[in-house]
Chain A
Amino acid sequence: MKLTLKIWRQADSSDPGGMHTYELDEVSEDMSFLEMLDVLNEQLIEQGEDPVAFDSDCREGICGMCGLMINGDAHGPEVTTTCQLHMRSFSDGETITIEPWRADAFPVLKDLCVDRSAFDRMIASGGYISVNTGSAPEAHSVPVPRDDALRAFNVATCIGCGACVAACPNGSASLFMGAKITHLGELPQGQPERDSRVVNMVAQHDHEGFGGCTNIGQCTAACPKEIPLDVISQLNKDLRTAMRHGH
């Protein structure tokens, strides 16, 4: 198929950036979206033009490194990661607009690459269970009901791609944060630090410049791992409980 690609080009974070238009022929529907960009880049290199920078790594939907706004949707029209989006989701002759994640807390580094290190700092602020290596009790000493473990697993599948933030009109990272709060909060091992965790993570979230949540739900609609919206309710509940406990 033949495509017209409108791609955001920006040399670095200080450059104002702008849309550029490229024509691409002979796109096969078996290509992933990123392989289509690989083909474009080979064409650009041949023409002596700087290839488009974009992030990707595992290309099997699990590392969370890739992420593009495609025709205004985070990761494009399907509920999946950009690397698992295939060109059969598009049609011959289509014009596709490709932009980087949009959020103040995710500054653009170059073209379609953004800086998501705010997510790491949020995890560092409390998204863990404190246990020194070698000091863990025998694994069977604390049973975890099967359903609790399953729910913890289901929300622990967040890949930290940032689609929730990019899709949110407020640029909120509440879904990302709620997933971690819920994962650790579902497990007995996560209880001792439950209050301090939520208070510290919320403080870090706000400090990073993410917006507040107004329950629009675009985050969960865009999430490739289908993290449910109720992790945000859990987050708010945990925060209220922590405040009642005097945090």
Chain B
Amino acid sequence: MPDTTSAAEPSLSADTEGEHDDAAGFYTPGEPIADAKAPGGPVADRWATRKFESRLVNPANRRKLSIIIVGTGLAGASAAATLGEAGYRVKSFCYQDSPRRAHSIAAQGGINAAKNYKEDGDSTHRLFYDTVKGGDYRSRESNVYRLAEVSVNIIDQCVAQGVPFAREYGGLLDNRSFGGVQVSRTFYARGQTGQQLLIGAYQALERQVAAGTVSCYTRHEMVELIVVDGEDGPRARGIVARDMVTGEIETHTADVVVLASGGYGNVFYLSTNAMGCNVTATWRAHRKGAYMANPCYTQIHPTCIPVSGSHQSKLTLMSESLRNDGRIWVPKSKADCEKDPREIPEEARDYYLERIYPSFGNLVPRDIASRAAKNVCDEGRGVGPEVDGVRRGVYLDFTAAIERMGKDGIEEKYDNLFDMYERITGENPYEMPMRIYPAVHYVMGGLWVDYDLQASIPGLFVTGEANFSDHGANRLGASALMQGLADGYFVLPHTIRDYLADGPFEPVADDHPAVVEARESVQSRIDHFLNNAGTRSVDSYHRELGNIMWEFCGMERTEDGLKKAIDLIRTLKDDFWRNVKVLGTADSLNQSLEKAGRVADFFELGELMCIDALNRRESCGGHFRGESQTEDGEALRHDDQYAYVAAWEFAGDDQPPVLHKEDLVYTAIEMKQRSYK
């Protein structure tokens, strides 16, 4: 039995008493991960030590070394640009028609950096501290410190590229505070920071394309990882990609492979992710031996525009800054839920956040605000259109703020958000309270990497949202952009250098058994989908899977719910393989075929997410286990049992995954329970 047992808080409930392991039978215990390869010594010196230890590759030799990078978001484009300018031969892949469209472009709020331009007490150490605490002490100390350390260089780099950050009248950069942080360290370009940062990285990438160091393969999807067994063990040596226009299955080999392919929030079908975001690149790597770490960690964002009907394809996030002035409420009585909110008198309204959390009120952290909204809707007090029998929405009311600041004041502060809301819902938020509901936004889980961003398969590196390392169980506002660019511009170029110093590796021939096997497995999947005489569309399966995930592995998870979800997923997955209907041909642009492969991988990921959530019988950050809460219903962590990274190894189809634990060790920071009462 794995040692995830023993009860820490016997006063909680009978469930937590005695020896138990919720996930017993769903996995096999594996060897612990002893070493994540961070240098020793004081946390502030570790990155400098690693950079010095990392071997050099002379410029003439770099031309002989080749790198494949999958994904062109902040992490992928910045890495491709940097490694290209260093002189390596880089191939960059994206499924969109241009690298500029990666979903990093949609990030609104800003990017953190410990510049301390406001002289308000910020420092590398404080950014490090806030990030580890915000991640509920489930991220790695060494990685997060490094992130805070290089954050200052990111801003310099982006400004030099022409990123038009907000400025003060004197011409210096402006900062704001964000996400409940008490210092002003967030750099921003109105509400479109992600767009401007991505365009900066994209332009740097295109500059290398012109210089001939980077080749871009757009409308190409990675569908398999090529792992070659050599004398010194397996190494990642290439990918199989499908040209999404011609359908051609292409083999690309290189000395090293980098996955910067983003997160997997679309397993929930409805999310704030772009429609094309998928798990296939990382899942294929997982199936080839790369561990998947903490897959159950999902960040739910509280201020999204609610679902309006069963046709809905995606959810749109609205900046959290709205919570600064909007008051959140639902009717006290179910009978009022259908009424025009303007006709519901003050005394019949429940300002539930202000009631439950009087000191933080509407500004409680994301996970708490999200769960509270779910609870009132589950009670039947949600507002807005009824979808599948439930109203899932709460009011975000600006009436008091409009009285206080005037319509002009609100317009100046939130203009484009109000317009965006009206465009999507058809309701004028100056006259009617907005409706909001939580939605899946970002995933903190991803492929396991060591301090060098190398996965458990040598030669495979993973950056940005695709890896797990920096955000713990929760992500603070403005920290994901920071990680993407830190990895791509400043971390990976140093760590990959050390790996490449052993290269160039022997070329891999097209008829190498590993290549042939990878291509054949891709081909057989495609053949199956196109020849399957099924009756149901891919999307209909994806929606149903998403509903299961949202219901049982969403904002709140319980042992019973997760076990039920695993059953439902397995049944639906079997039906998918037997009954899915994909029209068209393999040798053409075929969007149903693209989706079929992605949804097939989402099924397997979804099951692993549930197993991971089942194993982690504690609440932390975006992971709330119903069995682990305080008497007041707040998240309760169990540091004595779960201060580890859960790294899952694929053991084969229909085999339970193997759980490897990496203990989280803090030397520079003390673990504390969060409280917002």
A contacts, CB < 8 Å to B: 11-12, 28-32, 34-36, 38-39, 42, 45-46, 48-51, 53, 55-65, 80, 84, 86, 88, 109-110, 113, 115-117, 119-120, 123-125, 127-134, 136-140, 142-146, 149-150, 152-153, 156-157, 159-160, 183-184, 186-187, 189-190
Contact = CB atoms under 8 A, between A and B. Distances in A.
B160 A160 contact: no
22 contacts: A12-B589, A30-B309, A38-B539, A42-B539, A53-B589, A53-B591, A63-B101, A63-B103, A109-B245, A109-B589, A120-B99, A123-B206, A127-B203, A129-B203, A130-B207, A132-B85, A133-B204, A138-B156, A139-B156, A143-B171, A146-B167, A156-B196
Contact of A110 (B103, B425, B589): B589
Given A45-B537, A153-B196, 15 more contacts: A29-B426, A30-B308, A30-B425, A35-B313, A50-B583, A50-B584, A51-B591, A123-B203, A123-B206, A131-B157, A133-B157, A136-B153, A144-B167, A184-B162, A189-B162
A160 B169 CA distance: 30
Interface in B142-201: 153, 155-157, 159-162, 164-173, 189-190, 192, 195-196, 199
A143 B97 contact: no
B39 to A, nearest CB: 21
Main secondary structure on A side of the interface with B:
loop
Contact of B159 (A12, A55, A130, A189): A189
A247 B591 CA distance: 46
A179 B436 CA distance: 35
Contacts of B276: 57
B216 interface: yes
Contact of B309 (A11, A28, A117, A132): A28
A190 to B, nearest CB: 6
A159 B100 CA distance: 9
A38 B425 CA distance: 19
Q: Closest 5 CB pairs between A and B?
A: A143-B171, A128-B203, A136-B160, A153-B164, A124-B206
Contacts of B196: 153, 156
B312 interface: yes
B28 to A, nearest CB: 38
A31 B311 contact: yes
A32 B117 CA distance: 43
Contact of A62 (B195, B206, B216, B591): B195
Contacts of A186: 164
Contacts of A184: 162
B202 A123 contact: yes
Contacts of A53: 589, 591
Given A38-B311, A53-B589, A140 B581 contact: no
Contacts of B159: 136, 139, 142, 189
Contacts of A63: 96, 101, 103, 105-106, 274
A130 B205 CA distance: 11
B592 A113 contact: no
Contact of B96 (A50, A65, A88, A137): A65
Given A129-B160, A130-B207, A58 B105 contact: yes
Nearest to A55: B97
B284 interface: no
B23 interface: no
Nearest to A190: B162
Interface string B288-321: 0000000000000000000011011110110000
Interface in B652-667: none
Nearest to B538: A45
B365 interface: no
B499 interface: no
A134 B583 CA distance: 49
A117 B584 contact: no
B532 interface: no
A35 B316 CA distance: 14
A31 B589 contact: no
A153 B589 CA distance: 36
A153 B189 contact: yes
Contacts of B189: 153, 156
B151 to A, nearest CB: 12
Given A63-B274, A86-B426, A12 B588 contact: yes
Nearest to A116: B97
A50 B202 CA distance: 34
Nearest to B169: A146
A56 B275 contact: yes
Nearest to B168: A146
A146 B173 CA distance: 9
